[in-house]
Every structure is written in C-alpha cells, then in structure tokens.
C-alpha cells in the first residue's frame, strides 16, 4: 500500500485554484467506480478474513481514522491521508476510533 498525506503534497494551479494530485497512473481502464464510505466505530471490512480484488483501490480519508493491514504491514490512516492498494494485494481495515471514518474510494480495473 502506498500512503500520502495532503500536507505533504505541493499545490498546483495557484493562484486561481489549489489542486493536490495524490496518485497518477496511465493506461487503458475497463471500469472505474467511486464510493463514499462511512465506517462506524468497531466495524471491520471485511467482517472476517482478507479482502483482495482485481481493481486498484484509491481512497481518501475525510474524517476519523482507520487501522489497516496490507501486505503484512499495519498502519493507521487519518483525515488527510490518501492510499493506493494495488490490485491483488490482500488487506483489511477496522475503525478502532470513537467516531465514524468517512472516506471516498475509487476502484479502477485495468483493461485486460
């Protein structure tokens, strides 16, 4: 898993607007989906076991925090963090905090 915090990214487009690009990939894509997720305290995704899928998973945490396990490593993602979990990488997450974790998630499936 790759992780970037919004405070570590230099803005572009100034002074008209401020944009911070976290990740960039080129290629042919078969499908892209966008979801907003609210993970309540104590909840785990998936409920048991590991998650693994054919898509690259891009996420941005808006509020709260989530503990993750990816590729044998534990970490805590907080508001302002962006992550990339490559296709095929086993992972799970749990909200061990006291407030919901709000995030937006993009799933990007590459063309075969």
> What domains sit in the chain, N to C, each tagged with a CATH number?
2-16+32-110 (2.60.120.10)
Residue with tokens 């898509």: 55
Q: Does 23 score more than 90 pLDDT? A: no
Q: Across-strand partners of 107?
A: 33, 57
Q: What is the pLDDT of residue 28?
A: 87
Q: What is the pLDDT of residue 4?
A: 83
Q: Does 24 score more than 80 pLDDT? A: yes
pLDDT one-digit tens code per residue, 84-94: 999 999 999 99
- b/e for 43-52, b at 16 or more Cβ within 10 A? eeeeeeeeee
**Taking the model in full, what pTM does it have?**
0.83
pLDDT one-digit tens code per residue, 41-51: 999 999 999 99
CA 85 – CA 65 distance, rounded (Å): 17
């Amino acid at each position: 898993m790759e992780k970037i915090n919004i405070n570590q990214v230099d803005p572009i487009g100034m002074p008209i607007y401020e944009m911070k690009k976290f990740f960039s990939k080129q290629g042919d894509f078969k499908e892209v989906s966008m979801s907003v997720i609210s993970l309540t305290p104590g909840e785990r995704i998936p409920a048991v076991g590991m998650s693994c899928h054919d898509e690259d998973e891009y996420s941005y945490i808006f509020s709260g925090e989530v503990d993750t396990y990816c590729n044998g490593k534990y970490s805590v993602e907080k508001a302002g963090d962006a992550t990339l979990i490559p296709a095929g990488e086993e992972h799970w997450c749990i909200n061990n905090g006291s407030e919901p974790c709000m995030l937006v998630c993009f799933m990007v499936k590459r063309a075969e």
